[in-house]
């Protein structure tokens, strides 16, 4: 008796995708979705840099004006600056560019579904934000496999957004509409300000003639990051957490002749550290007050 063959596995539906904005994020996400079998049919690019990025990451995909990109796609990815998103959606609505029933996803961290308000009854809107800093090169494609994506959608579209993220190798994380602003503030504070902090630390070392500054800092910073992510305030060490006000004063004296942004940044972070160390019970109230007084005196 022969065993009947199993039924064929249904083919995964593929989408015709248009990417508005061949910046660091748009070109990479387009390439990631293309690699999973979707068809990227068009991309918009204004600057010479973005045109080169589109050619590199999306070879063979035509570079077209935004309205043509939108009209050619089943899924439109809007990878534009946060402040431009609302006006772009409204402008495309005013010119009758949107196609009823289109899927449209923006990549803004700050915004949820609010920018889609003028077209909420015509489109299938999604916010899909990769929580990663991008270089705009093929290196980012590998990083997507470790990346969380903050998604906000109407409930019925949540499986669609999650599927797109999983296809790119990422992990979908649900962000309620009312939480988008705080979600984005957390990521910007942690990532962008970390870059400033590290650049300042390297500048201080180099001003002391210490090279390679990156080699000196890398093991310390990597250990600090790992400890902070696992233990939060429990990872605090250093002069502020110990209440060594004299050391803090000496640091500020050393930093006073460097770039004008460095000493104020040290002072602000030392103040925040003292407050957090006190709240977590790692620093006595009297020691914290001495630290705060020292910081205030150094501003006069």
Whole-structure pTM over 0.85, yes or no? yes
Rounding to the nearest 10 degrees, give the CA dihedral for residues 265, 267, 271, 276.
Answer: 50
Task: Parse the chain into domains and list their residue ranges.
Answer: 16-175, 183-297
Q: Where are the alpha helices (DSSP H) in 130-179?
A: 139-143, 158-167
CATH superfamily of the domain spanning 16-175 = NAD(P)-binding Rossmann-like Domain (3.40.50.720)
Q: What is the pLDDT of residue 146?
A: 84
Q: Is residue 245 a contact partner of residue 298, using CB atoms and an 8 Å limit?
A: no
Out of 1.10.150, 1.10.1040, 1.10.3470, 1.10.8, the CATH code matching 183-297 is 1.10.1040
Which pLDDT score is estimated for 298? 56
Q: Write down the pLDDT at residue 1.
A: 47
Per-residue pLDDT of the chain (300 residues; tens, 9 = 90+): 455 555 554 456 799 999 999 999 999 999 999 999 999 999 999 999 999 999 999 999 999 999 999 999 999 999 999 999 999 999 999 999 999 999 999 999 999 999 999 999 999 999 999 999 999 999 999 999 889 999 999 999 999 999 999 999 999 999 999 999 999 999 999 999 999 999 999 999 999 999 999 999 999 999 999 999 999 999 999 999 999 999 999 999 999 999 999 999 999 999 999 999 999 999 999 999 999 999 998 565
Whether the CB-CB separation of 166 and 147 falls below 8 Å is answered with no
First to last CA, the chain: 94
Q: What is the pLDDT of residue 12?
A: 65
Residue-wise pLDDT tens digits, 188-213 = 999 999 999 999 999 999 999 999 99
Q: How far apart are CA 68 and CA 300, in angstroms?
A: 59
| Residue whose entry in the numeric block shows the structure tokens 């061949």 | 22
Strands (E), the chain: 16-20, 39-44, 75-78, 103-106, 124-130, 148-152, 171-174
Rg (CA), the chain: 25
């Amino acid at each position: 008796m022969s065993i009947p063959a199993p039924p064929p596995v249904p083919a995964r539906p593929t989408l015709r995708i248009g990417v508005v904005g061949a910046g660091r994020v748009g070109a990479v996400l387009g390439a990631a979705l293309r690699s999973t079998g979707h068809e990227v049919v068009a991309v918009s690019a204004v600057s010479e840099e973005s045109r080169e990025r589109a050619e590199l990451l999306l070879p063979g995909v035509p570079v077209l004006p935004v309205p043509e990109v939108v009209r050619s796609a089943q899924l439109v990815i809007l990878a534009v600056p946060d402040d431009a998103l609302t006006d772009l959606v409204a402008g495309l609505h005013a010119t009758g560019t949107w196609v009823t029933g289109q899927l449209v996803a923006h990549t803004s961290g700050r915004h949820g579904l609010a920018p889609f308000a003028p077209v909420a009854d015509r489109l299938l809107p999604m916010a899909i934000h990769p929580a990663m800093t991008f270089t705009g090169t093929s290196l980012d494609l590998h990083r997507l496999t470790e990346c969380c994506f903050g998604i906000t959608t109407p409930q019925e579209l949540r499986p669609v957004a999650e599927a797109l993220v999983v296809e790119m190798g990422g992990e979908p994380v649900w962000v309620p509409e009312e939480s988008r602003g705080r979600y984005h503030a957390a990521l910007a504070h942690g990532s962008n300000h970390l870059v400033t902090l590290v650049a300042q630390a390297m500048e201080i070392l180099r001003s002391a003639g210490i090279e390679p500054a990156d080699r000196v800092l890398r093991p310390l910073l990597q250990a600090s990051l790992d400890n902070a992510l696992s233990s939060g305030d429990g990872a605090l060490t250093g002069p502020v957490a110990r209440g060594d006000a004299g050391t803090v004063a000496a640091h500020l004296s050393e930093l006073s002749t460097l770039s004008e942004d460095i000493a104020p940044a040290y002072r602000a972070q030392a103040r925040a550290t003292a407050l957090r160390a006190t709240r977590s019970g790692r620093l006595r109230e009297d020691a914290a007050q001495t630290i705060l007084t020292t910081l205030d005196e150094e501003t006069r």
